[in-house]
Amino acid sequence: MSTSTTAITNAASAATNNTTSTTGSSSSSANSLNQIAGNFNEFLQLLTTQLQNQDPLDPLDTNQFTQELVEFSSVEQQVDTNSNLQTLISLQQTSEATSAMQFIGSTVTLNGATATLSSSSPATWSLNSPSPATAKVTITSATGQVAYSRTVSLNSGTQSYSWNGQGNNGVTWPAGQYTLAVSATGANGQPVTVSTRTQGTVSGVDLSQNPPQLIVGGQDYAISAVQSINNSNLTTSLGSLNSSLSNLNSSLSSSLNSLNSSLSTLNQLL
């Protein structure tokens, strides 16, 4: 293997190690680009030296080193593109945080089985059954203790289920987070899957997590868990945010696939 080819191999390896992760930092992309630029200059110097000292009877294959030069430039451009995408991701994360803060104070319906019991209001869930069913409802505390259990009849469709905190033994449980589990069967004895949702008011946003989490009843929920809100502007904002995230993921995936293709072509040439 020639020394110029070795320089390209080192650059390709550096690019692969630094660009295969979609969550890499922008500084990593910059280091990768600087590394390729340094190896590219080394490649040109070695190539010039080889041309000056080549055997006239056995000259270098011009087509090969021209292809290597083109592929080297292609990899460099792809790493630069990845760096720009990292900037877009950073801007998108800022947009996510801004969108999440708009939920504060809104009442939201969430996918989940944990609801808040307080001294002023019962713990309330929304149950959706695809058909009439007989269900055993079990409510457990945050520590896993069974606080309440009962067999109830469910209608087809969505219905509300509330618990005032009174246990099976008549003792009132303290305020806190309680989780509801439903085991249901239909008229023919076949299992029926019942989905569970909860409602609550967004009291804050946890920006330390990525993506930001909504705080409802002291629990953290991803924005994707929100099924409905009582503010039409927020509904539009949520749809726009999900669309932007989808477009960004598509662009990032396309760029990485193109980079991997360039690296694969370069390795074949080498």
Distance from CA of residue 10 to its chain's centroid? Answer: 32
pLDDT classification of 46: cutoffs 50, 70, 90: confident
Nearest-angstrom CA–CA distance, 75 and 29: 12
What SS3 state is found at 196?
strand
216-264 pLDDT, tens digit per residue, is 877 888 888 888 886 644 555 566 666 666 766 676 677 767 766 766 6
Nearest-angstrom CA–CA distance, 223 and 13: 38
89-109 pLDDT, tens digit per residue, is 776 667 777 777 778 888 888
Report whether 18 contacts 259 (CB < 8 A): no
Nearest-angstrom CA–CA distance, 113 and 101: 24
> φ, ψ for residue 189 (rounded to 5)?
85, 0
pLDDT classification of 14: cutoffs 50, 70, 90: very low
What percent of the chain is predicted at pLDDT more than 90?
A: 25
Vertex 13, ends 7 and 19: CA angle to 5°? 130
**Type of residue numbered 203:** S
Vertex 133, ends 128 and 134: CA angle to 5°? 115
